[in-house]
Copies of this chain bind each other. A is one copy, B any other.
Amino acid sequence: LTEQQRGMVLNLVADLYPADVALLLRRLPDAEAGRLFRWLPPEMGADVLAEMEDAVRAALLDDLRPDTLIDLIDALDTDDAADVLADLPDRVALEVLPDLEDAADLTELLEYGEETAGGIMAREYVALAPDQTLQEATEAVRRSAADVDDVYTAYVVDEAGTLLGTLSLKQLLLSAGAVKVRDVMDADFISVAPRVDQEEVGRVVQRYDLVSVPVVNDTGRMMGRITIDDVVDVIRDEAEEDMQLMSGLTGEEETVDSAVQVSRGRLPWLIVGLVGSGLSGTVIGAFEATLQQAVVLATFIPVVTAMGGNAAVQSAAIAVQGLGAGELWLSDAFKRIGKEMLVALLNGIVVAGLLCGTVALLGMGDVTMLVATLSLTMLSVSLVATTNGALIPFLLTWLGVDPASAMGPFVTTLNDIMGLAIYFLIATALYL
């Protein structure tokens, strides 16, 4: 991209949606992305900024002058503006904050945790008074339209700012102009508290099929509103975070991170895995005498650990999902585990049968006792691992930890250790 291409490039970019420009910037080398971003008209620059991932955004904003930054942030809705501010270095954020149009609102938003309802809400919304006629209400919506994007619902508040009801644009359009807002509003609305976790907001919006949800504090005061596009991002982010936790990542790795950043994020779980598998190794080491007498037992180490790991992860996945979707509650733990043990018994019998059939066919070692050892091991491992898998997510939820972390290296390692101990104890008793 050279200065001569500016006109041509801007022409091309003007036809794109902000989300597509954000994707384009993400795929350009840093220097070119910076140049193109500075060429964009402020209004478009702001829209593009709102669509960008944190890491890409931080890189782009790094070398902007404060006054450009202020123009950009002023063009954003307060929820996006608060996000951008939160991602800036503290020094820069403090420098620009006092000069921003919505400085007071933003200071308030920044006080909420980034992953709470307060942290993702916008302060802009269309407010109506209960005694307005619909004619007046329509006028009020018109006046707000310039400041508030994505209007689907207006909020009816009294003088003290207490939320009394909601009125959808459809309802506003459908009723006669002389009717009072109070008489057509929906007083039986769903709201969330500002300190609620964003994951809970996602659940509420999904369960009740909402397109926006008001944030209301303890005293019933309307604080702001959360729109569905932000909720969709939350749902996707939380799903990504769960998947990363399950995979032994810290939950924040992005595809644009540098190799050293990535390495640093992955090492903790690799080291946990190392320590855990070291313990598994110690179990094997403790039975070195057994192994020395029957090296054939080593052949089944992967079988035992695979059965334990797979069975545990399967039952953990269902518990994690049920808890996440609000379909399972802590009080369901015992019922759930009872059912899982039944499944474990069924699957243990089938797998033990298959394994023993194979061993008998291949005629490995002293077949009768080997088959007995393996059957008993498979059944026990299936039961223990499945129960662990189902139990740990409940335990973590009860402790206030994200249950998805149960499925990382932690559960697998725990079950390796327990599975191997079971295996060698049974083998020492039966096979030797």
* A contact residues vs B (CB 8 Å cutoff): 17, 19-20, 23, 26, 51, 138, 141-142, 145, 150-152, 169-170, 172-174, 190, 205-211, 228-229, 231-233, 235-236, 239-240, 242-244, 246-249, 253, 255, 259-260, 262-263, 266-267, 269-271, 273-274, 276-278, 280-282, 284-285, 288, 291-292, 295-296, 298-303, 305-307, 309-311, 313-314, 316-318, 320-322, 325-328, 336, 339, 342-343, 346-347, 350-351, 354-355, 358, 407, 409, 412-413, 416, 420
Q: Are A299 and B281 in contact (CB under 8 A)?
A: yes
Which of B150, B190, B270, B295 contacts A291, CB < 8 Å?
B295
**Known contacts A266-B314, A277-B306, then 8 further A-B pairs from the complex at CB < 8 Å, ordered by chain A residue:** A145-B174, A152-B170, A243-B246, A263-B343, A267-B350, A277-B303, A284-B301, A306-B409
Which residues on the B side are within 8 Å of A150 (C-beta)?
209, 211
- Whether B236 contacts A206 by the Cβ 8 Å rule is yes
A266 CA / B242 CA spacing, docked (Å): 21
Most chain B CB atoms below 10 A, which of A170, A209, A284? A209
Cβ contact within 8 Å between A299 and B317: no
Partner of A247, one of B19, B295, B317: B317
- Which residue of chain B has the shortest Cβ distance to A255 in the bound complex? B322
* Sample of 8 A–B contacts (CB below 8 Å): A17-B207, A51-B207, A141-B173, A150-B209, A211-B228, A239-B243, A255-B328, A274-B303
How many copies of the shown chain assemble into the complex?
Answer: 2
Q: How far is the CA of A369 from the CA of B23 in the complex (A)?
A: 50
A310 / chain B contacts, CB cutoff of 8 Å = 248, 269-270, 273, 409
Residue of B nearest to A300 (CB): B281
| In the complex, chain B residues whose CB is within 8 Å of the CB of A355 | 274, 278
Given the complex of chains A and B, what is the CA–CA distance between A277 and B260 in angstroms? 33
- Which listed residue (B26, B190, B236) contacts A239, Cβ 8 A? B236
Bound form: Cα–Cα A354–B295 in Å:
28
Are A346 and B152 in touch, CB under 8 angstroms?
Answer: no
Please, which residues of chain B bring their CB within 8 A of the CB of A322? Answer: 255
**Min CB gap A340→B, angstroms:** 8
A243 touches B317 (CB 8 A): yes
Q: Is the CB of A152 within 8 A of B211?
A: yes
For the complex, give the distance between the alpha carbons of A300 and B291 in Å. Answer: 14
Instruction: Assess A339 versus B274: contact at CB under 8 Å? Given A151-B170, A301-B301.
Output: no
Least Cβ distance of A357 to chain B in Å? 11
**A231-B232, A284-B298 given; A306·B206 CB < 8 A:** no
> With the chains together, A233 CA to B210 CA distance in Å?
12
Closest to A315 in B: B266
How far does the alpha carbon of A281 sit from the alpha carbon of B343 in the complex, in Å? 26
- Asked if A247 contacts B316 (CB within 8 A), the reply is yes
